[in-house]
Copies of this chain bind each other. A is one copy, B any other.
Amino acid sequence: MKKKRNVYLKMKTLQEAKQIIFNQFQLSDRLKKELVPVSDAVGRILADPVIAATSSPGFHSAAMDGIAVHAPETYGASEARPKTLSIGKDAFYVNTGHVLPSGTNAVIMIEKVIEQDPPHVVIESPAYPWQNVRKTGEDIVATELLFPRNYEITPYCIGALLSGGIFSVTVKQKPNVLIIPTGSELVDFRRASLEKLQPGQIIESNSLVLGKLTESCNGSYQRHEIIKDDIANIRQAVREAVDGDFHMVLIVGGSSAGSEDYAKDVIADLGQVLVHGVTIMPGKPVIIGEVNSIPVFGIPGYPVSAIIAFEQFVGPLLCRMLGQPERERNTVQVAPTRKIASKLGVEEFLRVKLGVVGERIVATPSF
């Protein structure tokens, strides 16, 4: 005897569904902190503000190749009345970046230095104090805020961190997502062979797509072995996940209302279903639920629907957990190349091919 078909809860709009998720999950404190070396920190999100431990430069240094001098001793020099300085006494050769010798406070660039019988050099114009000098702390002053909490470390940050004497940073743990592919028709891509594929069998790909999308949102993922359409096994996997180290669970497939769609029952058995069905296409049969205060999603098995469900719900929730703004896609105004009928009461996501005709960007639906 087959189980009774699911009845959809009242469908929610995209905005309602998002609001339900964001209200339900107060996530800001759920991720642990980790200390990582700066060399491994690119792409990670700061859990604490970072304060410079040292100044950079840590000393007054030459900003030009030339001679370092004490500015007042050059005052009055002119073409009519050149001044002679003595290298090693009141002038010192320096290259860019060199520490300024004690007692000096300006650098005269080498092109303006007339070399005479060593150790003498002649200058024809005066230097003003701190000319061509990078002063201590010009780039970074010890104790200054380098980056605030929730800042995403980029390659550009690395220079400021190291120069500010910071060799490791406290970042947020990556949210860890368990992805459970379900469906008796599925074949594991790691063991698939085209010759042995039977009619009705499908190479499972959603778990890898969703995993890589999770990584692109600064999360990490673990892929569960495929579970056949068996409610007890699916329930067991979800229970273990929420008792374990996961911050989110995606049950992929079986989110619809068919007789072998178990995602909703599993979530209802273990916790609560918040949303079943959103008025978007593709992606309509998505399930949003909660077990042990862990978000558990039922992700539709149709690949395009799975991606839309990720982009509209899972990705934004990962961003929230990490204290990041939602990622905005680039947008562009287009003119459709043919009439596109829209379905009443449904927000549609169309895949289109873009082209340029004259000054307009035109879009042709792919399907």
Contact = CB atoms under 8 A, between A and B. Distances in A.
A156 B307 CA distance: 8
A163 B205 contact: yes
Interface in A243-270: 256-261
Given A98-B185, A98-B200, A200-B99, A209 B167 contact: no
Contact of A189 (B2, B167, B257): B167
Contact of A38 (B56, B161, B208): B208
Interface stretch (A10-18, A24-32, A78-86, A191-199): A191-199
Contacts of A59: 199-200
A95 B259 contact: yes
B203 A96 contact: no
Tally of this chain's copies = 2
Nearest to A65: B258
A197 B256 CA distance: 64
A312 interface: no
A188 to B, nearest CB: 10
B163 A303 contact: yes
Contacts of A228: none
A65 B259 contact: yes
Contact of A209 (B97, B159, B194): B159
A358 B2 CA distance: 62
A104 interface: no
A193 to B, nearest CB: 9
A292 interface: no
A97 B185 contact: yes
Contacts of A206: 159
Given A65-B256, A212-B42, A53 B194 contact: yes
Contacts of A257: 65
A202 to B, nearest CB: 7
A60 B265 CA distance: 29
Interface in A194-227: 194, 197, 199-206, 208-209, 212-213, 215-216
Contacts of A183: 97
Given A39-B189, A53-B194, A167-B192, 19 more contacts: A5-B65, A39-B190, A54-B194, A58-B197, A58-B199, A58-B201, A65-B256, A65-B257, A65-B258, A95-B260, A96-B258, A98-B200, A99-B199, A155-B209, A155-B212, A158-B205, A159-B206, A162-B208, A165-B203
23 contacts: A2-B93, A39-B208, A42-B212, A54-B194, A54-B197, A56-B203, A58-B199, A58-B201, A65-B257, A93-B259, A95-B260, A96-B258, A96-B302, A97-B183, A97-B185, A97-B301, A97-B302, A99-B200, A155-B216, A156-B307, A159-B208, A162-B204, A163-B202
Interface of A: 2, 5, 38-39, 42, 53-54, 56-59, 61, 65, 93, 95-99, 110, 139, 155-156, 158-159, 161-163, 165, 167, 183, 185, 189-190, 192, 194, 197, 199-206, 208-209, 212-213, 215-216, 256-261, 301-303, 307
